[in-house]
Structure 1
């Protein structure tokens, strides 16, 4: 007696999908992404345009905390009309924490010399982030040195 799925040929119907071709395609895509991913994270050298921007308006009467990176790699910090005080990178975080505890929400502005390596400015901004600074303003001059 033959069952409903037995067609007399002795072969049973196959209820699976052959996934071997899909695995092959996934492995090829994996290799392609492994090769192209490092290329996407590398930077290219570009000349950034000089543009004119509107000055930041003070939202209150608080003087900002100013931090500068000088051409020779020295750091300075000052607030308001105080004289800039030369400090090392580790001391910047401590001073900013103290100043922000006295006056929370005080803006922090970074003055970076145009000849300072980009990595040094990023290191300074990372140090400020560790100190709890949420927003950092970057100070610039208009093209041609006006101002």
Structure 2
């Protein structure tokens, strides 16, 4: 840091200060960082589902998948909208018609581990009947489960495709 001492040459005029005070900028940046750290987890909130564990690796994805969720009480959600079981075939057929590049959209099926297996299979049957065959079962990743674990995901984001 330099100190500006009064000089005799300027006859009372002071030279402009050329130092930049960085402290306020650092304070603002730290506050913004804290705000983003607090709000980022809130942006990914969806339907609360207690997912099973698996050791499978996450899938690569090119477009935003359609999330189909079944919660512990058996309610069905497509993305974040609750849907009755009677409306599922029509909704899945409409999703199947909205294909891009001749490829059906990726479906992420999230089901609570307390649900009956038959209930999940009925939803998968509706997906298959609509022609949506790119289905991934979403699980919580990296836990001590049997080595024969099927579909799953690392970090709870995606699963192994079921055909």
Compute the displacement of 1:51 (Å): 3.7
Please state which structure has a larger fraction of its residues in helix. Answer: 1
- Residue 94 of structure 1: how far off its partner (Å): 1.4
Could you list the structure 1 runs, at least 4 aligned residues long, displaced by more than 6 angstroms after superposition: none
Q: Secondary structure at the match of 2:73?
A: coil
Identify if the C-alpha distance between structure 1 residues 110 and 50 changes in structure 2 by more than 3 Å, giving closer, same or farther: closer
| Equivalent-residue separation in structure 1 for 2:89 and 2:122 (angstroms) | 12
Q: Find out whether 1:56 has 2:59 as its counterpart.
A: yes
In the alignment, which residue of structure 2 is the partner of 1:86? 82
Structure 1 residues 100-139: aligned runs within 5 Å: 100-103=96-99, 104-139=103-138
* Structure 1 CA distance for aligned equivalents of residues 53 and 71 of structure 2: 20
- Which residue of 2 is the match for residue 73 of structure 1? 74
Distance 2:119 2:66 in 1: 19
Rg larger in structure: 1
Q: Which residue pairs with 2:25 in the alignment? A: none
Structure 2 alignment gaps of length 5 or more: 1-51, 145-153, 156-163
Greater shift in the superposed pair: 98-107 or 85-94: 98-107
Counterparts in 2 of 1:66 and 1:116: CA distance versus 1, 3 Å: same
Report the secondary structure of 1:110's partner residue: strand
Checking the alignment, whether the CA contact within 8 Å between 2:96 and 2:105 is kept in structure 1 is yes
Aligned residues: 91
The separation in 1 between residues aligned to 2:124 and 2:110, in whole angstroms, is 11
**1:7-57, Cα deviation, whole Å (9 max, x unpaired):** xxxxxxxxxxxxxxxxxxxxxxxxxxxxxxxxxxxxxxxxxx954111011
TM-score for the superposition, normalised by structure 2: 0.51
| TM-score between the two structures when normalised by the length of structure 1 | 0.56
Residues 66 and 110, structure 1, Cα contact 8 Å, conserved in 2: yes
Q: Which runs of 5+ in 1 are unaligned?
A: 1-48, 79-83
Q: CA RMSD in A?
A: 2.1
